[in-house]
Amino acid sequence: MKKSLFSFSISRALVLAIMVTLAMEACKSKKKVAEPAPPPAPVEEVEETPPPAPPAPAPEEVAAQKLENAFNQVAAAGNTSIANQSVEETLSMFSNQEAPVLIVIHEENGIKDYDEPTTIRKYLEYLKDTKKNLNYISDIRLDANGKVSELELRRK
């Protein structure tokens, strides 16, 4: 049996074309691997400056933090003598024992409603008796000597 020359050459040509295509693909992938990587971009040297130091806290902020701690100590005192000692230490932070303490009970449109005004001594005695500190400092005023002259509190 004799095969036709035409069918033989088409199948050979097809096989040859497939082999050439595969060979070309293999060469392309080798070229991609063989190409050198582009040089890295030049890095500019930047002097790192330390971040600016946070501003020193205002005297009012320092006094408010100390007072919060003192109020918590009075409320958490284990016995009366410790509570009385904490009350006396706290009173030393005020300009006088009759410094006003205002407790905001409601605020609307910038208008504040206060509970009955009291003094710092009465407020500290209240903390000592109830053993609960339910307020936080919302405004504090210091006199020229750096002592607290007026205090405004709000419910936590």
Q: How far is 91 from 78, CA to CA, in rounded Å? A: 19
Number of domains in the chain: 1
Average confidence (pLDDT) over 42-63: 81
- CA geometry: angle at 140 spanning 108 and 107, to 5°? 5
| In the predicted structure, residue 1 carries a pLDDT above the cut 90 | no
Residue at 36 is within a domain: no
Q: DSSP states of 66-94 as a string? A: HHHHHHHHHHT-SSHHHHHHHHHHHHTTB
The predicted structure's pLDDT at residue 43: 67
Residue at 5 is within a domain: no
Residue at 37 is within a domain: no
Residue at 75 is within a domain: yes
| Residue whose token pair is 């070229």 | 31
Tokens of 40: 């890295």
DSSP conformation class of 107: E
pTM over the 0.95 mark:
no
User: Where residue 140 sits, what CATH number does that domain have?
Assistant: 3.10.450
What pairs with residue 54 in β-bridges? none
The residue among 142 and 48 whose pLDDT is bigger is 142
Coil/strand/helix, residue 146: coil
The predicted structure's pLDDT at residue 70: 96
Residue at 83 is within a domain: yes
Instruction: For residue range 65-107, list pLDDT tens digits in order.
Output: 999 999 999 999 989 999 999 999 999 999 999 999 999 999 9
Residue at 76 is within a domain: yes
The residue among 148 and 25 whose pLDDT is bigger is 148
The predicted structure's pLDDT at residue 120: 97
Q: Break the chain down into helix, strand, coil percent, rounded to 5.
A: 45, 20, 35
Residue at 143 is within a domain: yes
CB 151 within 8 A of CB 95: no
Residue at 121 is within a domain: yes
Bridge-based pairing of strands 118-119 and 100-108 is: antiparallel
Which residue range forms the structural domain that includes residue 92?
59-155
Using pLDDT thresholds of 50, 70 and 90, give the confidence band for residue 28: low
